Homo-oligomer: A and B are copies of this chain.
Amino acid sequence: MAQSDTVDRILDAAEELFAERGFSETSLRMITSKAKVNLAAVNYHFGSKNALIHAVFARFLTPFSATLEKAFDELEESCGDQPPTLNQTLWALTESAVRMPQRNEKGISIFMRLLGLAYTQSQGHLRKFLEQEYGDPFSRFMRLLKAATPQLSAVDRYWRIQFMLGATAFTMSSSDALRDILQNKTGVETSVQEIAMRLVPFLAAGMQAEDTMLVPPKGSKVSVA
């Protein structure tokens, strides 16, 4: 609560509403009324709705990318001249995400959902903003992946990275809903940490799959182009 800082109250409300409903589906009036501030406050403090969206991402992503860079530094150092393994790389990313200081109990899952939305909901301005602001740690992650999977051809690696991104972004972007469904069906509670721990082995196994299965089973009508 503190001294009722308007800017933070707006960011908190926006973060939550964006995650629940998406960007275009969330109006400034929803945000300001949830934040209990005047409608004009958003344009006064941020300039525009798009700038507010950027600010929501920056508030999480700036400290996160710093944490991630540090984790990669440590990892590479501890490996000496050997490149880190695939598992180590994926875990470094996962831990950096999970261990981020969280504003509230929902914390990380809200942000995962936002990242997923950023990817799927093709808001040009957001894509450009993220690329420009946080392209470096992303490229570094890509370089680590390349070193960790030397057995893959460039084309194979390219596609499998897309598959990984997809599984992650998609799952995280609806993780709340998915968790609720599972909760209702089986009574099992699932934390974001647990999802991540299930996701990593899945991704690692897929990434390292033998492509002997590339040939369809006999009788299949799909032909190799």
Binds B, one of A42-50, A101-109, A117-125: A117-125
- Among B117, B156, B171, which residue has its beta carbon within 8 angstroms of that of A166? B171
Interface core residue of A195, A202, A203 (most chain B CB under 10 Å):
A202
- Interface of chain A, helix or strand or loop or mixed? helix
Contact residues in B for A2 (Cβ distance below 8 Å): none
Bound Cα distance A196, B159 (Å)? 10
Binds B, one of A5-13, A55-63, A212-220: A212-220
Residue of B nearest to A170 (CB): B166
Shortest A224–chain B CB gap in Å is 7
Residue of B nearest to A224 (CB): B197
Contact residues in B for A207 (Cβ distance below 8 Å): 202
Contact residues in B for A24 (Cβ distance below 8 Å): 22, 24-25
- Whether A188 sits at the interface, judged by CB under 8 Å, is yes
Q: Is the CB of A195 within 8 A of B95?
A: no
Shortest A3–chain B CB gap in Å is 34
- Whether A149 sits at the interface, judged by CB under 8 Å, is no
Bound Cα distance A182, B162 (Å)? 11
Bound Cα distance A197, B169 (Å)? 22
Binding site for B on A (CB under 8 A): 20-22, 24-25, 78, 87-88, 91, 94-95, 98-99, 116-117, 119-122, 154-156, 158-160, 162-171, 173-174, 177-178, 182, 186, 188, 190-191, 193-214, 216-217, 219-225
- Among B156, B186, B201, which residue has its beta carbon within 8 angstroms of that of A210? B201
Residue of B nearest to A99 (CB): B221
Residue of B nearest to A225 (CB): B191
Q: Is the CB of B182 within 8 A of A171?
A: no
Shortest A155–chain B CB gap in Å is 6
Residue of B nearest to A175 (CB): B162
Contact residues in B for A98 (Cβ distance below 8 Å): 222
Q: Is the CB of B202 within 8 A of A160?
A: yes
Bound Cα distance A41, B208 (Å)? 52
